[in-house]
Amino acid sequence: MRQFHFIDKIINAADSIETYIQGLSIEEFKKSRLIIDAVIWNLELIGETAKNIPIKEKEDNPHIPWEKIIGFRYTLINEYDNLDLSEIWEIATVDTITLRAKCAEIKSK
């Protein structure tokens, strides 16, 4: 039986991000330090979780850019004061939704 602990963590973090930004424009997002911090923290959580996913699971799901996700986590942490909020918005509104759908697909296999 497969364990989905890591996949569930990614899905939960993606759901949190979606909740935080729901109904916001990019301008409203950029003005809210609280929401920015919450979104970034969940993106970091996604990256950390991706790092801990077993190699076999990653190999079985090459359609997910695991290394890119992990690498972005390091960018979030090491360049926190210089992040491009437009890029964060794009990731939160597009990439995270796509990742969530792919993770849900993994669970349905």
Residue 11's identity, in one-letter code, is I
Indicate the number of domains in the chain: 1
pTM to 2 decimal places: 0.93
Parent domain of 90 = 5-108
pLDDT mean values, one per 10 residues, the chain (109 residues) = 82 98 98 98 98 93 96 94 96 97 92
- Residue 3 pLDDT: 66
> What's residue 71's pLDDT?
96
Residue type, 16: S
Q: What angle do CA 87, 102, 66 make, to 5 degrees?
A: 60
**pLDDT of the residue at 1:** 43
33/66 Cα distance (integer angstroms): 28
The 3-state secondary structure of 60-91, one letter per residue: HCCCCCHHHHHHHHHHHHHCHHHCCHHHHHHH
Q: Give the pLDDT score at 35.
A: 98
